[in-house]
Structure 1
C-alpha cells in the first residue's frame, strides 16, 4: 500500500509519463491536450489528441502545455495531469488516493517555474510533492551509481531542451542546459524542405522523417522516404523524396550545438573526476538518444566513450519512481 502510493511523474515537453515502483510504467503518451473553446470542454489528451494536430476546426485547440521543459499553459497542463492521474488510478485502485509524488524538473528551472509544477501536482490530489532535477532522475533511471563518489556524465536529449550534467555523490557537479532538442530538429527539417523544395509540411511529418532516416553526421544510411505537403508557390499538393544525407544537412547545426554544450560541461569537470569520465564515458538518455548514429558521432567528437541508456526515453520517469528509495536526502534538499 505504501510503496504503490509513491509515484514518479515526468511531465515533459512532448510526453508525460507516470511510474510506480510496484506497477512500473503506468502512463506513457504525448503531452497533448485537445480543447473545445466553444463548449469550454476538454476533448482528449495523449495519443488521441496528438492525432488531431492540424486536422481540427478553428474552435478546437490542440496544444502542448509545456515548452522547453517548463509549463507554458498552466490550465491546460493541470487538465492534462488530472486526466493522466484519473486514467492511471484504475491500475492502482485505492493506493492511488493522495499519492506521494516525485516530479522531475529542469536543473535550471527557476523558483517560479518549480512553483508551477508544485501547484499542478497539488491540484491533482498529490499529498506530498518532491522535486528531482532531470539529469539526476535520468542517471538513476539509467542505473548509474549516482550516490557514489565517482563521475557520472549524463546527457538528457529531450524534446524541448538538452541537459548535460556531471553527477557525483548524489549531486550535480556541473550542468549545461540548451534549448535545443528533438523539436528543434523537427523544425530544422521543416525549414530545409521549405527552402529546397518549396514544400510546406507539418510537425508530425517532420518528426516521422527524423525517426525513420534522421542521423548524426557521418552515419551511412541507404533508405529514403517520400513526404507529402503543399507547394507554397503553386498551392498544389505534391510529394518529394528525401534521402538521409539531406536530413543530416538539415539538422547538423543543432547537433553541433549539442556537442559543444556537452564539451563545455566536460571542461568544467574537476581534475579528480576526469579519470572516471575517461573510464566510464557519457550516458545518453531521452528520445534524442535514439537518433541513428549519435552514439558513435559524439564519441568521436568528444574523445570519450558514449553509451545509450537501456531505456533512454523512459529513463527520467523510471528515475523519479526510484528516487524516494534511492536518494531521500537529495530529494529533501530539492524542496
Structure 2
C-alpha cells in the first residue's frame, strides 16, 4: 500500500490535517500537557486544551508553537506524532509525504525546525509552502493566472498579507499581531479597567461572543467571571462590545497598516486587478465582527470573507497535494 499525501496547517492556535481523498480529518488546538517532573506528555490537542489554566502544579499545559513558528521542538514533535497516529497516517506501510505551511517571513532556521519535526514524526518527504498562498488556493482563488489576487490571513500567532500572481507571492508582509494578541488585549483591558484577572480561555470567549472592530458595530453584552485583584475573591462583571472595540483598536490598526504597506508595494497593473476582485480574508481572525468592513473602508477595495475561513489553509494543502509531483522542486533540503 502506498503512503498517503498529508497536508498540515501547523497553526499557533490549531492544527488541521488534510488527507488526500478524505478532506480535513483533524482540527484540534495546538496544546500539549506535560508532567514537569518526568517530562512525559500527558495529553495533546482538545484534551490538553481543556486543562489550560486548570492544571495542578506538576502538570503544565502549553502551546509549542508561537507566532507561527516552533517555540518548543520536542513538544511540537510529540504533538505532530500524536496527531498523525490519531488519523492513522502512520499505519501505512510506506511513510507519507507531508506538506506544511509557514508564515511568509520565516527564517531558514525556523523552516528547518518545522521540516525536522515532521521528518522525526515519520514523513518520507516534507514540502514547505507559504501560508497566504495556500490560504488563497483554499479560498478558491485562481492564483496561477497572470492577474493580481490579495489575501489577508489572520491566524492565531501571525497575520500574513500577500499579493499573488502566476502562482507566486509578488509582495507580502507577516506581522505577529493576530488572534492571540486580541486575546491578550482583552485580558489586559479587563485587568486595567476592572482590576479583575481572567484566564486566556475567558478572553477568547469574549472575543468570539461580543468583540467588534467596526466603529458602530454590534452592541452585545456578556457576563464574565474572574479573580478580584484587590481582595482575591471571585467576582462577576458585565462587559459590552464598545469596550472591547476600544481594547482591540491598536492591534487591528497594525493589521490595517500591514495591508496598506503590501498594497503600496504592489505593481499598478496588479493593484487594478485587486480593485476588481477585492481582498479575501482567511483564518480565524476573519470571523472577528466588523473586520471586513473596517479593512474595506481603510483600503478602499472590496473585502470578502472566505467561506470556512478557518479551513482555507488546510483545504489549500489538499488542492496543492493534488499537484504535488509538479512541485518537487519546492522541497527544502536539510
Superposed pair shares fold, TM > 0.5: yes
Alignment of 1:1-335 (within 5 A): 5-89=4-88, 94-95=91-92, 97-326=94-323, 329=326, 332-333=329-330, 335=332
Residue 41 of structure 1, CA deviation:
1.8
Q: Residues 76 and 94 from structure 1, CA distance in 2 versus in 1: closer, same or farther, beyond 3 angstroms?
A: closer
Q: Deviations over 1:1-57 (max 9, x none)?
A: 65x701101111010110012111111000000011234321111111011011111
Q: Residues 96 and 216 from structure 1, CA distance in 2 versus in 1: closer, same or farther, beyond 3 angstroms?
A: farther
Question: Where in structure 1 do 4 or more consecutive aligned residues deviate above 6 Å?
Answer: none
More deviation, 4-13/162-171: 4-13
Between Structure 1 and Structure 2, how many residues are aligned?
Answer: 332
Structure 1's unaligned 5+ residue stretches are none
Residue 144 of structure 1, CA deviation:
0.5
Q: Deviations over 1:272-299 (max 9, x none)?
A: 2111000001000000000111111211
More deviation, 164-173/34-43: 34-43
Give the superposed CA RMSD: 1.6
Q: Distance in 2 between matches of 1:21 and 1:272?
A: 36
Residue 97 of structure 1, CA deviation:
4.4
How does the TM-score come out when normalised to structure 1?
0.95
Q: Is the Cα contact below 8 Å between 2:96 and 2:124 reproduced in 1?
A: yes
Q: Is the Cα contact below 8 Å between 2:214 and 2:289 reproduced in 1?
A: no
Q: Is the Cα contact below 8 Å between 1:14 and 1:30 reproduced in 2?
A: yes
Structure 2's unaligned 5+ residue stretches are none
Q: Is the Cα contact below 8 Å between 2:31 and 2:63 reproduced in 1?
A: yes
Residue 234 of structure 1, CA deviation:
1.8
Give the secondary structure class of the aligned counterpart of 1:35.
strand
Residue 333 of structure 1, CA deviation:
3.4
Give the secondary structure class of the aligned counterpart of 2:87.
helix
Q: Is the Cα contact below 8 Å between 1:102 and 1:321 reproduced in 2?
A: no
Q: Distance in 2 between matches of 1:137 and 1:44?
A: 29
Residue 334 of structure 1, CA deviation:
5.5
Q: Residues 145 and 327 from structure 1, CA distance in 2 versus in 1: closer, same or farther, beyond 3 angstroms?
A: farther
Q: Deviations over 1:61-117 (max 9, x none)?
A: 10000100000000000000000000000xx68547410111111111111001001
